């Protein structure tokens, strides 16, 4: 015998579905939170001004030297994301909703991992998307802002393999921005008196979020398509260590994390986790944290 669909039953289902969504959020595994600085957002677009140099202390002789600050505008648009699922009142009346809590739990897991997905998407597309200096995040013509018009590179595309990434996440500012305008949340139209429900018999469940991931300072990250091995890691690491600021001073950059997609993960383990290489001590063992990014190829 079919159940009578009452408002009390619908309200109870709302609580059940919402709790399932929240449960999924708590059980989600987050991988890339370490590589982004979280920035709250209250508008459709956030505009950032980034300094060309991280501040460094110099010996104070005579009057303080005031460096002209070069501020660059960088805008990040909050994009909307959604999930929608119709639930017909006949399914409720016939008690055919047993799978829905599990589905909404999956929504919650996906919602919690949504910003993580954006982080790895941004990293993967960093060679095609601009950062604050007008060049792509990974580019071989970043401006040095000196009188000679020098450029520098944080990208090595010598070979055509799958990219791997070095990040310096020891700085107060991380390589990426995670900008959240609207946290992932669940809601559904379960009002028996709603005109759409009356016309179609459908109660609609929604998951929604708004936000974006962007870039901070390009010298905090390096991209390479060379085969991931000890020699090519050292090339990338030393390139980062050699980065200088606009005054020719060392930036003090040193990679702390290596982000490897599926095709590079075993090579990363072989390079950094083995204590011995050909019977000799592996001096690179444990030098960086290996991040296994299954969202990358």
Band (pLDDT 50/70/90 cuts) for residue 77 is: very high
Q: Does residue 66 lie in a domain region?
A: no
Structural domains in the chain (count): 1
Q: Does residue 60 lie in a domain region?
A: no
Assess contact for 143 and 58: CB atoms under 8 A. no
Q: Does residue 188 lie in a domain region?
A: yes
> Which two three-digit tokens encode residue 64?
């303080």
Q: Does residue 238 lie in a domain region?
A: yes
Band (pLDDT 50/70/90 cuts) for residue 51 is: low
Q: What is the pLDDT of residues 168-212, one digit of tens each?
A: 999 999 999 999 999 999 999 999 998 889 899 999 999 999 999
* pLDDT attached to residue 278: 66
| Average confidence (pLDDT) over 50-60 | 57
CA 169, 175, 181, 183 torsion-angle sign: negative
* pLDDT attached to residue 68: 47
Closest by CA to 79, choosing from 223, 214, 268, is: 214
Beta bridge partners of 186: 207
Q: Over pLDDT 90: what percentage of the chain?
A: 74
Q: Residue 262 above 60 pLDDT?
A: yes
Q: What residue numbers bound the domain in which 24 lies?
A: 7-50+73-292
Assess contact for 61 and 193: CB atoms under 8 A. no
**60/238 Cα distance (integer angstroms):** 30
| Average confidence (pLDDT) over 249-255 | 93
Q: Does residue 248 lie in a domain region?
A: yes
Band (pLDDT 50/70/90 cuts) for residue 84 is: very high
Q: Residue 11 above 90 pLDDT?
A: yes
Q: Which range is least confidently modeled, 135-139, 248-252, 260-264?
A: 248-252
Q: Does residue 125 lie in a domain region?
A: yes
Closest by CA to 7, choosing from 187, 193, 186, 188, is: 193
SS3 of 106-144: HHHHHHHHHHHHHHHHHHHCCCCCECCCCCECCCCCEEC
Q: Does residue 198 lie in a domain region?
A: yes
**20/13 Cα distance (integer angstroms):** 10
Q: Over pLDDT 70: what percentage of the chain?
A: 90
| Average confidence (pLDDT) over 271-288 | 83
Band (pLDDT 50/70/90 cuts) for residue 245 is: confident
Q: What is the pLDDT of residues 105-145, one digit of tens each?
A: 999 999 999 999 999 999 999 999 999 889 999 999 999 87
Q: Please list, in sequence order, all residues whose beta carbon lies within 8 angstroms of the beta carbon of residue 137, skipping any fewer than 6 positions away.
A: 126, 127, 129, 130, 131, 154, 215, 218, 221
């Amino acid at each position: 015998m079919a159940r009578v669909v009452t408002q009390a039953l619908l309200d109870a289902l709302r609580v059940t579905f919402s709790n399932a969504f929240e449960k999924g959020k708590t059980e989600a595994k987050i991988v890339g939170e370490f590589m982004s600085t979280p920035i709250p957002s209250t508008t459709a677009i956030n505009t950032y001004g980034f300094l060309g140099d991280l501040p460094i202390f110099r010996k104070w002789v005579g009057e303080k030297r005031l460096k002209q600050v070069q501020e660059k505008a960088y805008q990040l648009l909050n994009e909307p994301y959604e999930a929608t699922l119709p639930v017909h009142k006949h399914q409720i009346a016939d008690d055919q909703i047993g799978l829905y809590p599990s589905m909404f739990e999956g929504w919650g897991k996906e919602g919690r991992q949504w910003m993580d997905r954006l982080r790895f998407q941004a990293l993967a597309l960093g060679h095609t998307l601009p950062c604050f200096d007008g060049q792509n995040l990974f580019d071989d013509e970043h401006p040095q802002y000196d009188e000679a018009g020098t450029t520098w590179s944080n990208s090595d595309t010598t070979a055509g393999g799958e990219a791997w990434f070095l990040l310096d996440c020891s700085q107060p500012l991380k390589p990426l921005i995670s900008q959240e305008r609207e946290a992932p949340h669940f809601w559904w139209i379960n009002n028996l008196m709603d005109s759409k429900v009356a016309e179609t018999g459908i109660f609609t469940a929604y998951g929604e979020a708004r936000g974006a991931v962007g870039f901070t300072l390009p010298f905090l990250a390096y991209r390479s398509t060379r085969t991931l091995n000890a020699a090519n890691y050292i090339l990338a690491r030393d390139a980062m260590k050699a980065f200088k600021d606009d005054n020719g001073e060392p930036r003090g950059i040193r990679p702390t994390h290596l982000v490897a997609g599926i095709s590079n993960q075993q090579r990363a383990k072989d390079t950094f986790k083995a204590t011995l290489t050909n019977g000799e001590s592996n001096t690179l063992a444990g030098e960086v944290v290996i991040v296994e990014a299954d969202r990358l190829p």
